[in-house]
Amino acid sequence: AQKVTQAQTEISVVEKEDVTLDCVYETRDTTYYLFWYKQPPSGELVFLIRRNSFDEQNEISGRYSWNFQKSTSSFNFTITASQVVDSAVYFCALTLSNDMRFGAGTRLTVKP
């Protein structure tokens, strides 16, 4: 069975702090895809990144970076120098065989 665990339910930081959102996944398949989505208060999910299981290279996009480690089945997401606009719920997801499974989400609050 496939499963995504986001153990951090809520995180609160002060603006300009760095914050890491954890994601641990379970799957027996060797081919799968991992995603991160952002859901701001408006409700719409915003796609952030997709990573396939064969690509363990870390990625950086502006203030966002992702650390994919197959050895620990983790796909963690770091925001550096956080801003108030980063406040949202962040979902990690795993997909294979026409089936996307979401983690429970982490609610990030960035205070000014």
* Residues at the interface with other proteins (CB under 8 A): 33, 35, 37, 42-47, 50, 52, 91, 95-100, 102-105, 107
81 in the Ramachandran plot: left (φ > 0), alpha (ψ -120 to 50) or beta? left
CB of 16 to other proteins, least distance (A): 27
Burial of 103 (0-12, 13-18, 19+ CB in 10 A): buried
Q: Whose Cβ is closer to other proteins: residue 33's or residue 64's?
A: 33
Q: Whose Cβ is closer to other proteins: residue 65's or residue 102's?
A: 102
Q: Whose Cβ is closer to other proteins: residue 81's or residue 100's?
A: 100
- How far is it, in rounded angstroms, from Cα 106 to Cα 85? 15
CB of 3 to other proteins, least distance (A): 12
Among 2, 9, 1, residue whose Cα is nearest residue 104: 9
- How far is it, in rounded angstroms, from Cα 17 to Cα 1? 36
Q: Whose Cβ is closer to other proteins: residue 71's or residue 98's?
A: 98
CB of 50 to other proteins, least distance (A): 5
Q: Tokens standing for 67?
A: 């650390």
CB of 29 to other proteins, least distance (A): 10
